[in-house]
Amino acid sequence: MVGTASRISRTVFIAVSVWLLIALAAGYLRLLEPAPRVAIQGILVALTAGVLLAFWKIRSFHDWLMALSLRALILFHAVRFIGLYFLVLYRRGELPFAFAVPGGYGDIAVAITALLVAGCLLNNPASRRIILTWNLLGLIDILLVVVTAARLGLAKPDSMLALTRLPLSLLPTFIVPLIITSHLIIFYRLRRSPHPA
């Protein structure tokens, strides 16, 4: 059983590493830059759907994610400190206010509270409510960021050019699909188990 779990973990690590390398190469080669901004949103949606489909259809991947600690899924959201960089790029004039400031502060708030929620994770009903509330607010925040990026990208494509270049090109091609998926898996896990810890 331990050997099987180790093999699945290794397979997931390899798959995610290959995905990350492809996303890095796309960003480095600026493959997203000439693409219509709506295509970038399409890539984000397709990748999110792909991970969710893998969760539902690949039993070993499903079981691995279900066995992963809830704390690890929550702590993953520390990646949302990327919101600090949004604010830096806004100051430089490289991202519009409507995206960078609300999205930046929202992501920073979700990242900080992820650390707090993960640090206080207990096996009781109060923890469950706290996690549900944090997860709902975190999902709403990321969906608002995605919708805002799409809206601004359609209205003024050049305003969102930073999302087509590294490091921010990793958002639609790697990080945001994982963020959205992790939120949905946390909801699923909480629904399946009355004890969050």
pLDDT score for 2 = 56
Q: Does the pLDDT at position 69 exceed 70?
A: yes
* 22 assigned to some structural domain: yes
* 94 assigned to some structural domain: yes
Only one residue has tokens 């708030």, namely 109
pLDDT score for 194 = 60
In whole angstroms, what is the distance from residue 66 CA to residue 78 CA? 20
Count of structural domains within the chain: 1
* 11 assigned to some structural domain: yes
Q: pLDDT digits over 112-169, tens only?
A: 999 999 988 766 678 889 999 999 999 999 999 999 999 999 999 899 999 999 999 9
pLDDT score for 36 = 85
Which structural domain range is residue 138 located in? 2-192
| Band of pLDDT at residue 15, cut at 50, 70 and 90 | very high
In whole angstroms, what is the distance from residue 91 CA to residue 152 CA? 18
* 62 assigned to some structural domain: yes
Averaged confidence pLDDT in the chain? 92
3-state secondary structure 90-116: HHCCCCCHHHHHHHHHHHHHHHHHHHH
User: In 10 A of CB 16, how many CB atoms?
Assistant: 13
* 197 assigned to some structural domain: no
pLDDT score for 192 = 82
* 179 assigned to some structural domain: yes
pLDDT score for 197 = 56
